[in-house]
Amino acid sequence: MTMKNFIAAYHFAQRQKNITDKLIWLETSLQCARNINDENVKSAYTALYADISQCYEALHDSDNAKKYTELSESYKGASMEFIMDRKLSLPKYLEEKGIPSDLIQTIESVFTLRSYKKGCNILSMGENTKVVCLLLQGIVRGVYIDEEGVEVTKCFSKEGEWCCFYNILSDSPSEFWIEALEDCQVAEIAVEQLRDLMKQYQQFRNLFDELYKNAFILIDEKGVSFQRMHAKERYLHFINKYADIEERVKQEYIASYIGITPSSLSRIKREL
């Protein structure tokens, strides 16, 4: 079980109108939490146990309601804030990716920190800024205009993920733009400096080889989902894989990403 499974189950529980279904998903989230070897997860137990207690109370199971209320009280003072505390530092990111400590300072020195307000473009359509950006805080979406003149969300990126990757692959003007959906902070590096680092340091080259591979896998997965999945299946796949994103962006953007209308997405969510 992973943190992603835990968060997905918890958020999915909140959407359930049937108390029994909600309880099942909360208990699934609790099981995921217990299987994660991370002290930070304990800060979720107060809210999680309290929600489970309320479900048992609604089901007239006073014994279990009392049991989970007491468990919730035992973790009092903690909260779900760790889920929202997403800000990342560049050194921490590099360390998590296996870059040696003696190399981190060298790599960090060629990055520039920049901030973008919600609604601003990090990359505009028709330009090539010749930089790539690691998101340290916030979330962005890539957008293009289809043949009918409609905006289409092609991708999302959040903390610990890269954007403006197009600038590495091509010197041509971008055919889409990247919009900040929240106030964002990024670590920016010029494409030429990035290429120099990859030539000089194998560990950094390995990092970007992995990023390239994952990008192609993501594109392939999305293509398969559009070919083989119905709309509801695509949405369930999205919230299972991107639960943390689903809670942070407009539903119309998610609908666009999975290839349906906002009204269709609303209908699917009512049916769940």
In tens, the pLDDT along 191-234 reads 999 999 999 999 989 988 888 888 777 776 777 667 678 899 88
- Is the pTM for the entire model greater than 0.85? no
Q: CA torsion 24→26→31→36, rounded to 10°?
A: 150
Q: How do the residues of the chain divide into helix, strand and coil, expressed in percent and rounded to 5?
A: 55, 15, 30
Q: 3-84 architecture in CATH? A: Alpha Horseshoe (1.25)
- Return the biggest CA–CA distance within the chain: 66
* Amino acid identity, position 233: E
**Structural domain boundaries in the chain:** 3-84, 90-228
- Distances in Å between the Cα of 208 and the Cα atoms of 93, 99, 161, 186 are 13, 12, 12, 17
Q: Which CATH class is domain 90-228?
A: mainly beta
Residues 6, 33: contact at Cβ < 8 Å? yes
pLDDT tens for 36-60 read: 766 666 667 887 888 899 999 989 9
